[in-house]
Chain A
């Protein structure tokens, strides 16, 4: 075990898989210097700031037998590439009847909380969940980002890794030896008995903080980190809700049509889980506003530990 940052762990996943497979290409608008030093300028390309183009190029490479990584940096820049992501990457495996595989890993950061304002802060994963054909990751620890990207780099489909911006420098334990984490397996970050809290992205840490605080008041939270949104580990959530009888979902994304709504729907349409509910499920989400710049407004617009505690106390009454 070593302690390395989230971003270093992600890079290690790419390095390990690029060493194994020479038919791999990395494209990003910023120079990935370490990668270029090891794998050369042919395979590690700096692109013009033309996100739609290099995502499209990833598709053409993939259709020609290569595996690609496209680092778009921020999810807001990812919107520039939506034609190629939504109309092409997501659909062409299906539209062409499964003739070809499109192993493409697209990385972009999500979240708010750093005064990036509306065009550098967003958590748009639910929009992508609504377009079949993409696999969607939401890694929250150095260990997870490496393990999930390792799986992404052997998967034969377009995969989007939404990586919380504020976690990029976070340090954590990562084994020396190789490992991978399968998609569709949630992580129970903390076991508990009173309330199931499903937490996305950086909100995992707010939930763990709330669990700590509430434990001293005798309230036990079970904190679930889904780790991947597509595929989604509904079983772990349902099993937990059947045990606790209460559900709160915390997500930094805007509330309307968000992934949190999907989890509430999952639980309330499962007869057994629904029957076990002791209170109406709740969600603590970002307000339906673009992310504001000024710190007091930004803090107001996104969820945190305090807002989660309020929601938990409300459904415990």
Chain B
């Protein structure tokens, strides 16, 4: 369950002033994440994918809104629920899917899997399986941007659960005293596995924590991609000016259990999940684009067909790719 926010921003005053292609790109990116994750979930539940997979379904607007405000040379640090961040930053779904299947053609040659996809060529510094651990790493990425003096920035994604880790507080403190160009993106889905933020968080209001470290912050409804995009743009503009870090709390909800598993219990209230499904970020934006006559129903369907074909292609690529040789396990322990 989410905690109340006095200052929660729930919508934009006016629609985004963007060209049609950019608006459609926001929608298409969210849909790519959705369709990719649906396919992964299907394959996991059919027993075709090894290991732990954490689904991003329900939270697509956040990765999309943030990453679409970033340049290729800007860097992001992700977490265990990281597929959405990869896709939004521009990762190749073929190599993602291959990695999820443990294939040699995957981003990490099958050494990382779903939880550890990285693509350094697009500034995606990796997903990370230890809650909160990406935060210190992101301070280094932001420090690098500060030293490079090219106006680049870094962003780190984490959940409400990470905010109770010491690493979170250390990272906020460092970003504050060094005025790092770092965007903290808290994807507040209300739960760490099955433990609610209401129970686990003494501060109650997450934004009190960046406030304590003198970090500018806003709390927004995270399922409105235009709102996320707009606020992220304003925050990142401040970062690029060298005005120090920014903290953005995005309220959202995950549709699946903590990770995809028949055995894992979901102890969250059923009515809560159903209520949030009504607030689907992808469907909501499809309706917005229809209402504003930016896309027709037929165009929406065409986008969906194209995205599904891309996901199918990625899946075929993964299936047809070879597994690594067992002895490939010995490679890459060290860099040359």
A-B interaction: yes
A43 to B147, CA, bound (A): 8
Once bound together, how far apart are the Cα atoms of A96 and B128, in whole Å?
Answer: 10
Q: Do B140 and A57 have beta carbons less than 8 Å apart?
A: yes
**Considering only CB atoms, which chain A residue lies closest to B75 in the complex?**
A64
Contact for A63 among B111, B141, B177, B332, CB less than 8 A: B141
One of B165-173, B226-234, B274-282 contacting the partner: B165-173
Q: How far is the CA of A307 from the CA of B138 in the complex (A)?
A: 49
CB contact between A83 and one of B133, B171, B173, B335 (< 8 Å): that residue: B133
B145 close to A (CB within 8 Å):
yes
Q: When the two chains form their complex, are residues A99 and B141 in contact, meaning their CB atoms are under 8 A apart?
A: no
CB nearest neighbor in A for B336:
A156
- What is the CB-to-nearest-CB distance from A100 to chain B, in angstroms, rounded to a whole number? 5
- Interface of B, secondary structure class, is mixed
CB atoms of B335 and A96 under 8 A apart? no
A95 located at the interface, meaning its Cβ lies under 8 Å from any Cβ of chain B in the complex: yes
| Shortest Cβ distance from A134 into B: residue | B334
Residues A60 and B141 in contact, CB atoms below 8 Å apart: yes
Chain B nearest CB from A52 CB (Å) reads: 6
User: Once bound together, how far apart are the Cα atoms of A132 and B167, in whole Å?
Assistant: 24
When distances are taken between beta carbons in the complex, the residues of chain B under 8 Å from A62 are 140
- The answer to whether the Cβ of B108 comes within 8 Å of any Cβ in the partner chain is yes
Give chain B residues whose Cβ lies under 8 Å from the Cβ of A157.
334-335
Which residue of the partner chain, among A60, A66, A95, A102, contacts B108 with CB atoms under 8 Å? Answer: A95
Verify A95–B77 contact, CB threshold 8 A.
no
Please state if B333 and A132 are interface contacts (CB–CB under 8 Å).
yes
How many positions in chain A have a CB within 8 Å of any CB in the partner chain? 44
**Known contacts A42-B147, A93-B333; is-contact A64 B174 (Cβ 8 Å):** no
User: What bracket does the count of chain B residues touching chain A fall in?
Assistant: 35 or more
- A25 contacts the other chain (Cβ, under 8 Å)? yes
Give the docked Cα–Cα distance between A88 and B108 (Å): 15
Q: A57 touching B119 by the CB < 8 A rule?
A: no
CA distance A59 to B139 in the complex (A): 9
1/0 per residue, CB under 8 A from B, across A103-131: the answer is 00000000000000000000000000000
> Within A8-40, which residues are at the interface with B (CB < 8 Å)?
23, 25
B166 touches which of A45, A48, A52 (Cβ 8 Å): A52
Establish whether residues B336 and A59, one from each chain, have CB atoms under 8 Å apart when the complex forms: no
Give the distance in Å from the alpha carbon of A100 to the alpha carbon of B336 in the complex: 11
Considering the complex, give the chain A residue whose CB is closest to the CB of B77. Answer: A60
Inter-chain CA distance A48–B169, complex, in Å, is 12
- A50-B173, A98-B335 given as contacts; is B167 within 8 A of A65 (CB)? no
A246 in contact (CB, < 8 A): no
Q: Which residues of B contact A133 (CB under 8 A)?
A: 333-334
Q: In chain A, what residue has the closest Cβ to B144?
A: A64
Q: Are A97 and B108 within 8 A (Cβ)?
A: yes
Contact present for B335 and A102 (CB under 8 Å) = yes
Chain A residues with CB under 8 Å of B332's CB are 93-94, 97-98
**B133 and A25 within 8 A (CB):** no
Chain A residues with CB under 8 Å of B137's CB are 56-57, 59-60, 63, 84, 88
Contact of B147 among A25, A58, A83, A101 (CB under 8 A): A25
Contact: A53 with B139, CB < 8 Å? yes
Measured CA separation A102–B126 after assembly (Å):
13
Q: Is B144's CB under 8 angstroms from A60's CB?
A: yes
Complex interface: chain A residues within 8 A of B111 (CB): 94-97
Query: Does A55 lie within 8 Å of B136, measured CB to CB?
Result: yes
User: Given the known A-B contacts A83-B130, A88-B133, A88-B137, are A96 and B107 also in contact in the complex, defined by CB atoms under 8 Å?
Assistant: yes
Give bound CA distance, A25 to B147, whole Å: 10
In the bound complex, do residue A88 and residue B141 qualify as a contact, i.e. CB atoms below 8 Å apart?
no
Chain A 260-294, CB within 8 Å of chain B: the 1/0 string? 00000000000000000000000000000000000
Chain A residues within 8 Å of B130, by CB: 83, 87-88
Interface string of B108-119 (1 = CB under 8 A from A): 111110001011
Contact present for A60 and B177 (CB under 8 Å): no
Instruction: Name the residue on A nearest B141 (C-beta).
Output: A60
Chain B residues whose C-beta falls within 8 Å of the C-beta of A53 in the assembled complex: 136, 139, 167, 170-171, 173-174
- A56 and B133: CB pair below 8 A? yes
Q: Is A315 an interface residue (CB 8 A)?
A: no
A98 and B139 contacting across the interface, CB-CB below 8 Å: no
A188: interface (CB < 8 Å): no
A66 contact from B110, B129, B147, Cβ within 8 A: B147
* A268 to B: closest C-beta gap in Å: 25
Q: For the complex, is A135 an interface residue (Cβ under 8 Å from B)?
A: yes
Contact B116 A98 (CB under 8 A): no
The one of B106, B142, B178 that contacts A97, using a Cβ cutoff of 8 Å: B106
B225 neighbours in A (Cβ, 8 Å): none
In whole Å, how far is A229's beta carbon from the nearest beta carbon of chain B?
15
CB-defined contacts of A156 to chain B, threshold 8 Å? 335-336
In the complex, are the beta carbons of B125 and A63 less than 8 A apart? yes
Residue contacts A-B, CB under 8 angstroms, 15 given: A48-B177, A50-B170, A52-B166, A54-B174, A56-B140, A60-B137, A60-B144, A62-B140, A66-B144, A68-B140, A83-B167, A84-B137, A94-B111, A98-B109, A156-B335
Binding site for A on B (CB under 8 A): 75, 77, 106-112, 116, 118-120, 125-126, 128-130, 133, 135-145, 147, 154, 166-167, 170-171, 173-174, 177-178, 331-336
Known: A57-B140, A92-B126. 4 other contacts (CB 8 A): A60-B154, A64-B125, A97-B332, A99-B107
